[in-house]
Amino acid sequence: MEQKHPMRMGAPGGPEGKHAHEAWVGNCTVVDCEYNEKTHCHAPNIRVVKHTDHADCGTYEPR
């Protein structure tokens, strides 16, 4: 089943099978990441890291 953008799925519930209060990545714009499939993150989990004054994805893997 192809993932849909969260806005079309009625966020904040998130993708099917996710708990309503579970954090998830709804739209990823890093097209050269191994886990990015059609702007959706398919990593089994992610690690968020602090980068100066904002958060970055520490799970990023180049293709």
15 neighbors 6 (Cβ within 8 angstroms): yes
58 burial type by CB count under 10 A (0-12 exposed, 13-18 middle, 19+ buried): exposed
Kindly calculate the radius of gyration of the chain based on its CA atoms and give it in whole angstroms.
12
pLDDT, tens digit (0-9, with 9 covering 90-100), for 51-60: 889 888 999 9
pLDDT tens across 10-46, in order?
344 455 665 665 666 768 889 999 999 988 888 888 8
Report pLDDT for 58.
92
**Strand-pair partners of 40:** 37
Whole-prediction pTM: 0.59
Is the distance from CB of 48 to CB of 55 less than 8 angstroms? Answer: yes
